[in-house]
């Protein structure tokens, strides 16, 4: 009986092994085709594999190399997804049920190439608000956990000639991919310029198979210790936090930044800078439209709005902003532009300008373009000698022949229109006034060399004779016709040359003679 039992046991085991072997041989292609079909349907793509190995015991496992997904079967663009190698686990019910459910998948060298997209070919307006129709179809593939330590996301632009937008993604962990509520994720992303690591978490999806650009995304981010010194012309360490939501074509972002030591290389003096902003980002090409930017530079508030877009065949982005300052502190701006420890001029400033920073890798100050107007009120000079001369100018302009400028200092007012290109400021209608005198100038000032060249008129309320006495008064009365001013007073043609530290003021004799 024992022999019979042993023989029966051996036969049963042999049959079980044979059946299991047959089941495995038949199950392998079944599992392979079932998983690939689910991937095909989920991403609306054609899937190709270089190799695939499946183990069904002790629990289903799969590993493979060189997996590629071509969205809509397109061969005219790089594959939507390329994975050099992967490993996945599942339960028997997971790979045989509907939908196909994988417990986990680990990806190595994941590359995602978003096909050309974007709703705004014009490049000067933000994408229209689009509400993506929710894909009601249940996902044929669910992955409980996705882990990718190193990945690369490349977003191609719809506009011909534009460089793709590239992100390095580290330590991506995603849960519940394929479920209706979207996949929860956390990842670190390397920001190229200024270089730093952005930590972000939120939800992604559900994946829009027909139109990947309509896939929803939302989350929060932090960006710490970004070194601005890698951008030629500026310096400081920036930190930022914020949140975002929308679809890949139109992501609405709001956040704030802090740069406690912001500076321009021109002066090298740090000034605290904070900003809050609202923006719209086209995730398919990276173009950004700044709906509102409120910056605080020292004690001065700066408001701006505009666009940051990529340009053809040029690294970086083209920035266009409308900037406005109302009642700002002039010394905050002077600290960015002047190397001296104390600002040479203080007062209240109003400014409106169009700011353009073309894409490129050159110095910011050499690329920066401005076109605007400004006005200063209650302005006084920090240098006692300069302020004394300004006060004396005011006294003489009102006819005080004994003016010495040692009385109560007068405040100045200044206004003008300006443009900045290639590091040179061109002033037109530059007006400087104190009680009794007005200086009208036009000319240029180079930011780096500090060389200036201005010409214009000194307008005085008093005549030349009113400012002198004795024999000198008789002589200047003879010259008064050369300097007479309609309505009374004097107009003296002047030149201002030299540098900011060694300015030279003089009479423009050529215009005096022409007038005579």
Contacts 24+ apart (CB under 8 A), 270-279: 270/235, 270/236, 271/297, 271/298, 271/332, 271/335, 271/336, 272/296, 272/297, 272/298, 273/236, 273/297, 277/253, 278/252, 278/253, 278/254, 279/252, 279/253, 279/254
**pLDDT score for 26:** 45
Same domain flag for 306 and 423: no
Same domain flag for 393 and 276: no
Task: Answer whether residue 171 shows pLDDT above 70.
Answer: yes
More confident position, 270 or 341: 270
250-264 vs 234-235, strand pairing mode: antiparallel
The arithmetic mean of pLDDT across residues 99-115, rounded, is 84
Residue 350 lies in a domain: no
Tens of pLDDT, residues 9-26:
544 544 444 444 444 444
Q: How is residue 484 written in tokens?
A: 């007479």
The arithmetic mean of pLDDT across residues 446-453, rounded, is 86
DSSP letter for 120, please.
-
Same domain flag for 445 and 317: no
Same domain flag for 476 and 399: yes
Domain around 511 = 383-515
Residue 6 lies in a domain: no
Q: Write down which residue in 305, 322, 339 finishes a domain.
A: 322
Banded pLDDT at 254 (limits 50, 70, 90): very high
Residue 24 lies in a domain: no
Same domain flag for 388 and 300: no
More confident position, 6 or 306: 306
Residue 336 lies in a domain: no
> Which of 95-104, 159-168, 413-422, 454-463 has the lowest average pLDDT?
159-168
Same domain flag for 243 and 173: yes
Same domain flag for 125 and 249: yes
**pLDDT score for 218:** 92
Same domain flag for 309 and 389: no
Tens of pLDDT, residues 327-346:
998 888 888 777 777 777 78
Q: How is residue 457 written in tokens?
A: 């008129």
Most confident of 67-71, 97-101, 451-455: 451-455
**pLDDT score for 492:** 81
Same domain flag for 313 and 410: no
Same domain flag for 300 and 396: no
Same domain flag for 281 and 392: no
More confident position, 416 or 267: 416
Average pLDDT taken over every residue of the chain: 77
More confident position, 118 or 175: 175
Task: Answer whether residue 237 shows pLDDT above 50.
Answer: yes
Which residues is 323 bridged to in the sheet? Answer: 304, 353
Q: Write down which residue in 284, 307, 322 finishes a domain.
A: 322
CA-nearest of 375, 308, 306, 295 to 336 is 295
Could you tell me if 463 and 481 are in contact, meaning their C-beta atoms sit under 8 angstroms apart? no
Residue 51 lies in a domain: yes
**pLDDT score for 301:** 92
> Which of 17-31, 39-53, 96-110, 456-470 has the lowest average pLDDT?
17-31
Residue 418 lies in a domain: yes
Tens of pLDDT, residues 206-222:
877 777 778 888 999 99
Banded pLDDT at 124 (limits 50, 70, 90): low
Could you tell me if 427 and 443 are in contact, meaning their C-beta atoms sit under 8 angstroms apart? yes
Give CA–CA dist 222/201, Å, rounded.
10
The arithmetic mean of pLDDT across residues 438-463, rounded, is 86
List the alpha helices (DSSP H) in 88-156: 92-96
Contacts 24+ apart (CB under 8 A), 490-493: 490/458, 490/459, 490/460, 490/462, 490/463, 490/464, 491/457, 491/458, 491/459, 491/460, 492/457, 492/458, 492/460, 493/455, 493/456, 493/457
Q: How many domains does the chain have?
A: 2
Q: Write down which residue in 287, 305, 322 finishes a domain.
A: 322
- Burial tier of 57 (Cβ tally within 10 Å: 0-12, 13-18, 19+): exposed
CA-nearest of 395, 397, 392 to 463 is 397
Banded pLDDT at 394 (limits 50, 70, 90): confident
CA distances from 90 to 51, 172, 206, 489 (A): 19, 20, 21, 95
More confident position, 403 or 259: 259
**pLDDT score for 426:** 92
Tens of pLDDT, residues 188-205:
888 777 778 889 999 988
Task: Answer whether residue 354 shows pLDDT above 80.
Answer: yes
Task: Answer whether residue 58 shows pLDDT above 80.
Answer: no
Task: Answer whether residue 128 shows pLDDT above 50.
Answer: yes
The fraction of the chain above a pLDDT of 90, given in percent, is 11
**pLDDT score for 119:** 36
Task: Answer whether residue 159 shows pLDDT above 70.
Answer: no
Task: Answer whether residue 177 shows pLDDT above 80.
Answer: yes
Residue 431 lies in a domain: yes
Residue 346 lies in a domain: no
Tens of pLDDT, residues 462-509:
776 666 665 666 666 666 667 777 777 788 888 888 887 787 888 777
User: What secondary structure, in 3-state letters, does 99-116 show?
Assistant: CEEECEEEEEEEEEEEEE
Same domain flag for 318 and 388: no
């Amino acid at each position: 009986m024992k022999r019979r039992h042993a023989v029966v046991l051996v036969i049963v085991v042999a049959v079980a092994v044979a059946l299991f072997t047959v089941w495995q041989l038949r199950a392998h292609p079944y599992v392979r085709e079932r998983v690939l079909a689910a991937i095909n349907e989920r991403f609306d793509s054609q899937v190709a594999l270089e190799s695939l190995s499946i183990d069904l015991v002790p629990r289903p496992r799969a590993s493979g190399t060189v997996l590629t997904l071509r969205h809509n079967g397109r061969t005219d663009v790089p594959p939507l997804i390329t994975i050099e190698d992967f490993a996945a686990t599942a339960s028997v019910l997971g790979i045989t049920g509907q939908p196909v459910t994988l417990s986990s998948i680990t990806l190595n060298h994941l590359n995602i190439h978003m096909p050309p997209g974007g709703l705004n070919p014009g490049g000067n307006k933000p994408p229209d608000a689009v509400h993506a129709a929710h894909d009601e179809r249940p996902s044929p593939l669910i992955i409980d956990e996705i882990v990718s330590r190193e990945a690369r996301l490349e977003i191609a632009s719809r506009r011909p000639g534009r460089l793709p937008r590239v992100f390095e993604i580290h330590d991506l962990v995603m849960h519940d991919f394929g479920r209706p509520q979207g996949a929860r994720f956390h990842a670190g992303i390397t920001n190229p310029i200024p270089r730093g690591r952005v930590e972000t978490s939120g939800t992604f999806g559900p994946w829009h198979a027909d139109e990947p650009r309509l896939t929803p995304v939302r989350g929060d981010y932090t960006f710490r210790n970004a070194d601005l010194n890698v951008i030629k012309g500026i310096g400081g360490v920036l930190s930022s936090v914020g949140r975002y939501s929308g679809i890949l074509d139109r992501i609405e972002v709001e956040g704030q930044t802090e740069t406690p030591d912001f500076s321009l290389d021109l002066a090298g003096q740090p000034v605290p800078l904070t900003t809050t902003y609202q923006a719209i980002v086209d995730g398919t090409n990276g173009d950004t439209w700044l709906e509102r930017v409120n910056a605080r530079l020292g004690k001065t508030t700066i408001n701006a709005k505009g666009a940051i877009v990529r340009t053809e065949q040029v690294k970086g982005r083209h920035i266009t902003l409308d900037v406005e300052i109302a009642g700002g502190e002039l010394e905050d701006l002077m600290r960015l532009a002047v190397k001296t420890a104390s600002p040479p001029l203080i007062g209240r400033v109003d400014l409106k300008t169009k700011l353009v920073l073309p894409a490129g890798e050159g110095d910011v100050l050499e690329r920066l373009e401005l076109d605007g107007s400004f006005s200063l009120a209650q302005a006084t000079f920090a240098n006692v000698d300069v302020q004394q001369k300004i006060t004396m100018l005011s006294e003489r302009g009102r006819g005080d022949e004994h003016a010495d400028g040692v009385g109560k200092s007068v405040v100045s007012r200044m206004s003008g229109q300006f443009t900045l290109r290639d590091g040179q400021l061109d002033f037109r209608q530059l007006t400087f006034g104190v009680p009794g005198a007005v200086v009208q100038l036009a000319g240029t000032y180079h930011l780096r060399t500090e060389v200036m060249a201005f010409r214009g008129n000194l307008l005085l309320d008093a005549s030349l004779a009113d400012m002198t006495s004795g024999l000198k008064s008789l002589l200047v009365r003879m010259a008064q016709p050369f300097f007479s001013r309609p309505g009374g007073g004097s107009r003296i043609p002047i030149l201002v040359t030299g540098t900011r530290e060694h300015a030279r003021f003089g009479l423009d004799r050529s215009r005096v003679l022409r007038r005579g």
